[in-house]
Amino acid sequence: MSTVRHMARQARAASNLLGVASAGARDGVLRRAAAALRSACPELLEANARDLDGARALLAAGELDASAFQRLKVDAAKVEEMARGLEAVAGLRDPLGRVDLRRLLDEGLELQRVSVPLGVLAVIFESRPDAAVQIGALAIKSGNAALLKGGREAAASVRALVDILRRCLEEEGLPGDALQVLQDRADVDALLALDGDVDLVIPRGSSALVRSIKARTRIPVLGHAEGVCHLYIDAAADPAMAVALARDGKLQYPAACNATETVLLHRDCAPVILPLLARGLPGTELRGCPRCRALLPDLVPASEADWDAEYGAPILALRVVDDLDAALAHIRAHGSAHTEAIVTEDPDAAARFLREVDAAGVYHNASTRFADGYRYGFGAEVGISTSRIHARGPVGIEGLVTVKYLLRGHGQIVADYAGPGGRPFLHRDLSPGT
């Protein structure tokens, strides 16, 4: 058996134990880990310093970019932030053992549907070492085991952080093997072949990372490869609101997946709103379609490729459309089903947009940047999914559980309910309680 398969099997066994551990024990691990992180701060900074030394060489050789180098850095404030993150996850409601269906199939034959862990997660992230702690905490809270692989430049930091979490699991009488660190890219390749042993792959990083993982595995992947989000400015839009939403959508954090990439303008309002946009988004490169450029000749010409671009930068594509139908058609053709917004004072246009756009998030008079697990009040975010299977949109810790059906009887057999003259089912729903 390959090493990675062996690790996955150990993770499965650990998950079986963790999944039936009490909420108190799972939360206990997280609280212990918060304290342990704080007291191990010097050692963590030391491990991170080793990573930073290596990363400087990669940076000089052009194998690591400056922003990845920044994300790699851990200081005392970052350690405190991780510790607080652990405590916050400990404080979330237990996602396990929740009963969402209770039904008497017949007197004395009760069906329940109850939440249980998915089992074994694989988490692949890039340079941020704190990703290991965040996702490790969510895994422990939800009774899942996780195989973790960070960027090679973060190896020492990730190892030091995960060692602490493993020790805290064992101090609480739980298996440390619930969290394991993969070594290198060959391990990741081996891991991605383990459908059956791994239940869900969670990539945390660039869309290039997500795309590459999706292309290489049959294991379900929670994530989104692209975030091409639109703001459609309807004829009946409030101009000041339209500009504010475009500015926030594009500039509040341009690298985010929920940033607005293209603004579509109804032809009737374009003459008024285009100049306002140009003034309202200073420092932003505006790329316009020919109809935009007829109104505002200074715009950079947009090419076909702009309609599919996720800039991750202060660049915004602009297109004039004839009407709502044309806007909907553009979004169908170029949207990534992430988050789409309309700005309008016309309730009918808003209703049609909310109804007809097929995306994880569809907004009326709100910034696309709201698409986020914390802003939605989920307490934690596992990722944002543009898949239609399992979870869609921002995914909280509920995305890490599945269900099982429990049936409690008194010896009932199916033959008694079968065929003509068979006993009918009762199918009476009971209150799920907790």
User: How many other β-carbons are positioned within 10 Å of the β-carbon of residue 375?
Assistant: 12
Minimum CB distance to a second copy smaller for 169 or for 337: 337
Minimum CB distance to a second copy smaller for 405 or for 421: 405
207-211 long-range contacts, CB within 8 A, separation 24+: 207/257, 207/310, 209/124, 209/126
Minimum CB distance to a second copy smaller for 56 or for 388: 388
Taking the complex as a whole, the smallest distance from the CB of residue 373 to a second copy amounts, in Å, to 11
For residue 98 the two structure tokens come to 């929740």
Mapped onto helix, strand or coil, the DSSP state of residue 284 is coil
Minimum CB distance to a second copy smaller for 164 or for 246: 246
CA 163 to chain centre: 25
Taking the complex as a whole, the smallest distance from the CB of residue 25 to a second copy amounts, in Å, to 14
Tracing tokens 């639109």 back to the chain, one arrives at: 230
Taking the complex as a whole, the smallest distance from the CB of residue 80 to a second copy amounts, in Å, to 15
Tracing tokens 């020919």 back to the chain, one arrives at: 290
Burial bucket for residue 299 (CB in 10 Å: 0-12, 13-18, 19+): buried
**CA angle at 93 for the pair 92 and 97, rounded to the nearest 5°:** 140
Taking the complex as a whole, the smallest distance from the CB of residue 413 to a second copy amounts, in Å, to 4
Minimum CB distance to a second copy smaller for 163 or for 310: 310
User: How many other β-carbons are positioned within 10 Å of the β-carbon of residue 382?
Assistant: 27
Minimum CB distance to a second copy smaller for 105 or for 300: 105
In 3D space, the residue among 294, 227, 236, 298 whose CA is nearest the CA of residue 262 turns out to be 227
Minimum CB distance to a second copy smaller for 72 or for 116: 116
Taking the complex as a whole, the smallest distance from the CB of residue 200 to a second copy amounts, in Å, to 7
Minimum CB distance to a second copy smaller for 56 or for 374: 374
Host H or E run for residue 329: helix 324-334
Minimum CB distance to a second copy smaller for 48 or for 344: 344
Taking the complex as a whole, the smallest distance from the CB of residue 211 to a second copy amounts, in Å, to 12
Taking the complex as a whole, the smallest distance from the CB of residue 145 to a second copy amounts, in Å, to 12
Taking the complex as a whole, the smallest distance from the CB of residue 404 to a second copy amounts, in Å, to 6
Binding site for a second copy (CB under 8 A): 16, 19-20, 103, 105, 109, 111, 113, 116, 118-119, 199-200, 214, 218, 220, 238, 241, 244-245, 247-248, 252-253, 332, 343, 350, 354-356, 358-367, 369-371, 375-377, 388-390, 392-394, 402-415, 417-418, 425, 427
Integer Cα distance of 405 and 369 in angstroms: 38
In 3D space, the residue among 399, 41, 11 whose CA is nearest the CA of residue 169 turns out to be 11
Integer Cα distance of 249 and 252 in angstroms: 6
Taking the complex as a whole, the smallest distance from the CB of residue 3 to a second copy amounts, in Å, to 21
Strand residues in 61-220 grouped as ranges (E): 99-106, 109-117, 120-125, 145-149, 179-181, 200-204
**With b meaning 16 or more CB within 10 Å and e meaning fewer, what string describes 327-336?**
bbebbeebbb
